[in-house]
């Protein structure tokens, strides 16, 4: 079985679980809408193939076996503009469910790291940019990564200039029940964050910025091997940008957030197939 076939099979399974599939036919005969899991699967394949909407559909029209995994054939494929509209209609909550299910494909260790990176927004609609006074050219993504499996457990996206400590706590709180430790660099140095993590039963591995001798002493007590695993975040970001792209192509800011969550889910599925 080819890589893309194994990927498609896994995507369809996760998509059905994410939408709560009730036995719908992917493309009903005699009109009617496509099953939501089929739409989600097409978008995952678009990201996996690293193609535009039009190019992805052209490629898939020549892959009857892959379409058969979804329950479609070449004649069923919609126009690329229809696929764009579907993406705008699918809520972020569904993509987050897909991300969580994709992370569950991995045997997570409970030891995680958190870090942030930036994705370009250069592909946004110029009309949209003028209409909304769109000036921020990058999207900040904060990801929580399992250090052993390199699975992305959660991601936060923003165009605002919020401090890393605030974003770190927001992401960590959503996942505290599944974490034993959390590693981060000095950009997340905030005593309140450490205390909040301890209250949730999570060991903070966050080095202090060194202004006083006691800061050096605190840093010396941090678990070295676990702390060094925070570099896994950078490894994951590098992999996503190298294989799935370093820019988001959606036309609106909420579409960009959804696309980034989708990219993280696709990364998790690809990593699970390697294992």
List the domain boundaries for the chain: 3-90, 108-249
Is the pLDDT at 58 greater than 80? The verdict is yes
Cα three-residue angle 182-185-190, rounded to 5 degrees: 80
Continuous H helices in the chain: 3-19, 36-49, 53-60, 64-70, 80-89, 92-103, 126-131, 164-175, 191-199, 213-220, 224-228, 232-243, 253-274
What does the alpha-carbon distance between residue 100 and residue 264 come to, in Å, rounded to a whole number?
A: 10
Q: Determine which helix (DSSP H) or strand (DSSP E) holds 181, and give its type and residue range.
A: strand 181-184
CATH class of segment(s) 108-249: alpha beta
Q: What was the pLDDT predicted at 61?
A: 95
Tokens of 59: 């490629």
Which band of pLDDT confidence, cut at 50, 70 and 90, is reported for residue 187? confident
In tens, the pLDDT along 130-162 reads 665 656 678 899 999 999 999 999 999 988 878
Q: Determine if the pTM surpasses 0.95.
A: no
What does the alpha-carbon distance between residue 271 and residue 275 come to, in Å, rounded to a whole number?
A: 7
Q: What was the pLDDT predicted at 8?
A: 96
What does the alpha-carbon distance between residue 57 and residue 54 come to, in Å, rounded to a whole number?
A: 5
What does the alpha-carbon distance between residue 55 and residue 234 come to, in Å, rounded to a whole number?
A: 30
Question: Chain-centre distance of CA 94, in angstroms?
Answer: 12
Q: What is the mean pLDDT of residues 74-82?
A: 89
Tokens of 140: 């900040």
In tens, the pLDDT along 13-45 reads 999 999 987 667 787 665 567 889 999 999 999
Closest listed residue to residue 244, CA positions, set 214, 219, 218, 271: 271
Asked if 210 and 216 touch (Cβ cutoff 8 Å), the reply is: yes
Whole-number Cα distances in Å, 169 to 41, 61, 107, 190, 272 = 32, 45, 24, 10, 27
Whole-number Cα distances in Å, 154 to 65, 122, 181, 261, 265 = 32, 24, 15, 8, 10
């Amino acid at each position: 079985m080819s890589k893309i076939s194994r990927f498609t099979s896994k995507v369809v399974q996760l998509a059905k679980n994410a939408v709560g599939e009730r036995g719908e036919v992917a493309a009903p005969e005699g009109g009617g809408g496509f099953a939501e899991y089929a739409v989600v699967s097409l978008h995952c394949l678009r990201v996996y193939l690293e193609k535009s909407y039009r190019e992805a559909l052209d490629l898939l029209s020549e892959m009857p076996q892959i379409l058969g995994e979804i329950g479609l054939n070449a004649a069923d494929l919609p126009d690329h503009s229809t696929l764009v509209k579907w993406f705008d209609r699918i809520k972020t909550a569904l993509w987050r469910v897909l991300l969580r299910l994709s992370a569950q494909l991995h045997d997570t260790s409970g030891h995680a790291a958190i870090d942030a990176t930036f994705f370009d927004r250069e592909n946004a609609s110029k009309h949209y940019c003028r209409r909304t006074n769109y000036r921020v050219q990058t999207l900040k993504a904060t990801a929580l990564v399992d250090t052993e499996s390199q699975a992305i457990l959660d991601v936060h996206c923003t165009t605002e200039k919020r401090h890393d400590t605030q974003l770190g706590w927001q992401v960590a709180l959503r996942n505290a029940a599944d974490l034993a430790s959390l590693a981060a660099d000095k950009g997340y140095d905030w005593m309140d964050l450490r205390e909040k993590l301890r209250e949730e039963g999570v060991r903070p591995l966050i080095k202090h910025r060194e202004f006083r001798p006691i800061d050096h002493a605190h840093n010396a007590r941090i678990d070295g091997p676990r702390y060094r695993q925070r570099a896994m975040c950078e490894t994951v970001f590098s992999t996503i940008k190298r294989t799935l792209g370093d820019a988001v192509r959606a036309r609106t800011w909420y579409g960009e957030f959804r696309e980034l969550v989708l990219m993280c889910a696709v990364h998790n599925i690809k990593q699970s197939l390697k294992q």
